[in-house]
Amino acid sequence: MKRCMFVDDSTVIRKVAKRILGGPDMLVIEAGSGYEALEMCVADMPDIIVVDVALPDMSAEEFIRKARAIQTPIVPQIAICLLEVDLGAIMRAKRAGAQGYLLKPFNRAQLLERFRVLQAA
């Protein structure tokens, strides 16, 4: 079973993602802040991480760098979540180690397609 973490201070976004993705093939875990997510990653690194670019406690790039620095056999696929296409934010996230991005609000088809691409990478 794949494990996915959504890191977003919005409980609504996390719940929607969990409802869309959760099922027999995917366990969705949630974190409301970057530091909370990093603690969870140290304990058990997920296969996929989706991190909001507007976290209240750290930048998405900082989170990505810190997550990548955790010594673990699992190397997660990481995507940032944006409200609009921001090429600067996307490039900074990719330089930090992200593989892609997702726009919100997202619907079921968009989220499932992004995850298909991330899982194939």
Find all residues with CB under 8 Å of 31, minimum gap 6, and list them.
5, 6, 7, 37, 40
Spacing of C-alpha 42 from chain mean position: 15
**How far is residue 40's CA from residue 90's CA, in Å, rounded to a whole number?**
24
**How far is residue 17's CA from residue 4's CA, in Å, rounded to a whole number?**
10
- The pTM (predicted TM-score) of the whole model is 0.92
Each residue of 9-26: pLDDT tens digit?
A: 999 999 999 998 888 888
The pair of three-digit structure tokens given for residue 111, joined into one six-digit string: 């989220």
Pick the CATH number of 2-120 from 3.30.413.10, 3.40.50.2300, 3.40.50.300, 3.40.1260.10: 3.40.50.2300
Q: Say what the alpha-carbon torsion angle 103, 104, 105, 107 is, to the nearest 10 degrees.
A: 50
Domain residue ranges in the chain: 2-120
Each residue of 82-105: pLDDT tens digit?
A: 999 999 999 999 999 999 899 988
